[in-house]
Amino acid sequence: MSSREKILATCTANKPALVDLPQLSDEHLTHYDDKIAQFKFVLESIGGKVVALENIEQVKEEIATHKQSGELVVDTVFSIDDALKTQTSFDLERVDRAYLQATLGVAENGSVWLYEAQMGNRLLPFICQHLFIVLAKATLVDNMYQAYQKLNITETGFGVFIAGPSKTADIEQSLVIGAHGARSLTVYLV
Amino acid sequence: MSNLKTLDHAAAAEIFIKDEARTDWHDDTLWFVRQKRDKAVNGIAEWEQLREWASQIKNHTLSNLDNYLTAFEKQAEANGIKIHWAADALEHNQLMHKILKAHNISRIVKSKSMLTEECHLNDYLKKQGIEVVDTDLGERIVQLRDEAPSHIVLPAIHLKKQDVSETFHEHLHTEEGNNDPQYLTEAARQHLRDHFIQSELAITGVNFAIAETGGFVVCTNEGNADMGAHTAKIHVACMGIEKIIPKAEHLGVFLRLLARSATGQPITTYSSHFQKPRPGQEMHIIIVDNGRTKQLGRADFRNSLKCIRCAACFNTCPVYRRSGGHSYHTAVAGPIGSILNPNLDMKANADLPFASTLCGSCSNVCPVKIDIHEQLWKWRQVIVEEGYVKPEKKIAMKGMAWIFSNPKIYRWAGKSGRWFLRTMPFLGNNKLNVWYKQREMPEAPKQSFHDWYQQNKNK
Ligand code: SF4
């Protein structure tokens, strides 16, 4: 018998009688009167920055300014360069700032969801030094239950919830921002 | 880094607590993590509802595990992922080695995976002349020191910043005596970036595997799993069979519980959902049994397979906090490790279910409602039954069980015990009474609770 067959057969023999799967519902869960305030409060408490913008043109200008100053800026909010897809870690390692559009934000935990299509390259949101996310206020949901109702995680090959900059507390429980991923995260609410 | 069991838990703990200041510090540090967990949990009105759902989802999944595993396999293969099955740790390591050899690969990065620790993958590959670079900061620290992780979430929690500074000075040439965590973390970031950028193969663990979609989720705060997985040409994810959950929507329960229970964060920084390999990439999943199907057949212990490895039970455990992870001489330490390891090797791990006060705090914090302390108690019975305890302990336990099961004798034993402790305390405080080690025997009350109750109930 192959290991596969052995494992499955032992599971069949040893599993207990079938137990029902619970029905999840949003009814029992906390909803927030002010989702924006909650999102901002939580994200700031975990090291992220939240900036409310009048209009998205401000982001465009910011990108232009940083590009002019010689920084390597990758923007997938306004247009995705096809070449990004095939770029390697050696190319992306030099990216100072990455601007990405998120699908939705979660008030309860300050996270945002990104599909692979919004990243241009899976590695980009992790390897860039500083990450900037554009999020429409209207996409904020209360909690993770609602988030999964809205998302279809099979839509692209990869997707991620990001909540704040990369961090670690592995040295004596001292929080250090900027472990292996982005050193900072700013969410622009529009 | 191998599983060198030279001492049992009590003996190793005795060495650990010799350094009283360090023991207190270890205790306080973990209690601090437990308090962060409490704060996060108290902020969620529906916490108990979430625990109940998580527990039921896991119970359901275990009761249909064979079907969910095959559904997952089918869907994952349709997504272009290669599935491998390993009956035990050795087969897991051999499968990994085979993948490495087939591609003639030498640059390997690995993010945290307790399963690969359980299988002693690094040791195995080292013997074949292959070096794996651990990329979780805590894991890298202990790897450079040639130690094993002492905690499943905080692998270097037993070390002080001076220790890390010395290790980094030796291996990464950081400034001597610079103990600043910010400085040390930055040094590790630079050091590991080089490894990420050049990596050819990335090994990750799996937090949740979704039967319905054939995808899997990996949670980290540092971003190290993603840095490796999205760079390397080959991604190998390793999972125990119990990592399966039925549907994506169930992640909405588990992701809310995991980080809050582990570190008090509302969610980990990155919750990465891998669905398909990226174009040109190869993705493998090794599904490992290693004793899990056997545990599934033990009615008293099967629900230990619900564990999501949050380590809340470690952080709250008075014995773990004051004996350190290495005293448990196994990859997964703490209360849950003491339930899982006797299943793998009862003789070698017979000491572990006794490394507990049975206070029940572990069961109270467990986000998937495992009855941890009750299982520890049950393991003690099994282990005594099978003859794996030292004779002194066996006599004491048998005596206690007999006394507890005879109310009259219990009361008489209590009375005479109280009389002995009051009149001849030296009889209790001697070497034959192992309980007296490290403890002051309590001052005996003149009256038992039972006698007091009898006297006072009608007042
Ligand atoms: S047994 Fe429960 S508390 Fe302990 S690590 Fe597992 S899930 Fe967390």
Q: Does the beta-carbon distance from B256 to A15 stay under 8 Å?
A: no
* Structure confidence at residue B54 as a pLDDT band (50, 70, 90): very high
pLDDT number for residue A175: 94
B326 Cβ contact list (under 8 Å, min separation 6): B12, B16, B147, B148, B150, B158, B333
- C-alpha span between B136 and B125 (Å, rounded): 19
Nearest CA in chain B to A155: B275
Architecture of the A32-189 domain: 3-Layer(aba) Sandwich (3.40)
Q: Where do we find the tokens 């519980």?
A: B257
- C-alpha span between B104 and B386 (Å, rounded): 47
H and E: helices and strands count for chain A = 7, 10
pLDDT number for residue B427: 47
The arithmetic mean of pLDDT across residues B28-48, rounded, is: 96
Decide whether any atom of ligand 1 lies within 6 Å of the B311 Cβ: yes
* Structure confidence at residue B454 as a pLDDT band (50, 70, 90): confident
Q: Nearest 5°: CA angle at B191, between A45 and B110? A: 80
Which pLDDT tens digit goes with each residue over A88-142? 999 999 999 999 999 999 999 999 999 999 999 999 999 999 999 999 999 999 9
Cβ count within 10 A of residue B440: 8
Residue B405 pLDDT exceeds 70 = no
pLDDT number for residue B428: 47
Instruction: Tell me the pTM.
Output: 0.90
Of B186-200, B253-267, B419-433, the least confident: B419-433
Residue B412 pLDDT exceeds 70 = no
In three-state secondary structure terms, A184 is: strand
Of A31-45, B5-19, B77-91, B394-408, the least confident: B394-408
Nearest alpha carbon to residue B244 among A156, A56, A21, A79: A21
Q: Does the beta-carbon distance from B252 to A180 stay under 8 Å?
A: no
- C-alpha span between B330 and B335 (Å, rounded): 12
Choose between B305 and B405: higher pLDDT: B305
pLDDT number for residue B402: 55
Q: Does the beta-carbon distance from B86 to A3 stay under 8 Å?
A: yes
Least CB–CB distance from A14: residue in B29, B221, B293? B293
pLDDT number for residue B394: 64
Residue B3 pLDDT exceeds 90 = no
B164 vs A: CB within 8 A: yes
Task: Please classify residue B105 by burial: count the beta carbons closer than 10 Å to its beta carbon, then call 0-12 exposed, 13-18 middle and 19+ buried.
Answer: middle
> Interface pTM (ipTM) of the complex?
0.98
* Structure confidence at residue B159 as a pLDDT band (50, 70, 90): very high
Give chain B's domains with CATH numbers. 43-294 (3.40.50.10420), 399-456 (no CATH)
Which pLDDT tens digit goes with each residue over A11-65? 999 999 999 999 999 998 999 999 999 999 999 999 999 999 999 999 999 999 9
Residue B393 pLDDT exceeds 50 = yes
For residue A80, give the amino acid letter: I
Residue B379 pLDDT exceeds 50 = yes
Q: Which atom of ligand 1 is nearest to the CA of B262?
A: 8
Of B106-120, B143-157, B180-194, B390-404, the least confident: B390-404
Instruction: Tell me how far the alpha carbon of residue B318 lies from the centroid of ligand 1, in angstroms.
Output: 15
Least CB–CB distance from A16: residue in B62, B156, B250? B62
* Residues 268-327 of chain B whose Cβ lies under 8 A from any Cβ of chain A: 268-279, 287, 289, 293-294, 296-297, 299, 302
Instruction: Tell me how far the alpha carbon of residue B263 lies from the centroid of ligand 1, in angstroms.
Output: 13
Strands of B234-240's sheet in order across = B82-86, B282-288, B234-240, B201-204, B108-110, B132-134
% chain B with pLDDT above 70: 86
User: Which of A172, A183, A184 should be substituted to probe chain B, the one whose Cβ sees the most B Cβ atoms within 10 Å?
Assistant: A172
Which pLDDT tens digit goes with each residue over A156-181? 999 999 999 999 999 999 999 999 99
Q: Whose CA is nearest to atom 4 of ligand 1?
A: B313
Q: Does the beta-carbon distance from A11 to B251 stay under 8 Å?
A: no
B43 vs A: CB within 8 A: no
For chain A, the domains span 32-189
Q: Does the beta-carbon distance from A24 to B274 stay under 8 Å?
A: no
Decide whether any atom of ligand 1 lies within 6 Å of the B308 Cβ: yes
Q: How far is B202 from chain A (nearest CA, A)?
A: 13
Residues from chain B that touch A19, judged by Cβ atoms under 8 A, are 56, 59-60, 62-63
Kindly report the average pLDDT of chain B as a whole number: 90
Residue B429 pLDDT exceeds 90 = no
Residues from chain B that touch A120, judged by Cβ atoms under 8 A, are none
User: Which of A14, A26, A141 should be substituted to probe chain B, the one whose Cβ sees the most B Cβ atoms within 10 Å?
Assistant: A14
A81 Cβ contact list (under 8 Å, min separation 6): A74, A120
Instruction: Tell me how far the alpha carbon of residue B136 lies from the centroid of ligand 1, in angstroms.
Output: 20
Q: Whose CA is nearest to atom 7 of ligand 1?
A: B307
B167 vs A: CB within 8 A: no
* Residues 178-237 of chain B whose Cβ lies under 8 A from any Cβ of chain A: 181-182, 184-186, 189, 192-193, 196-199, 210, 213, 215, 221-224, 226-227, 230-231
* Structure confidence at residue A80 as a pLDDT band (50, 70, 90): confident
Of A85-94, B14-23, B80-89, B195-204, the least confident: B14-23
Residue B449 pLDDT exceeds 80 = no
Instruction: Tell me how far the alpha carbon of residue B54 lies from the centroid of ligand 1, in angstroms.
Output: 12
Nearest CA in chain B to A147: B252
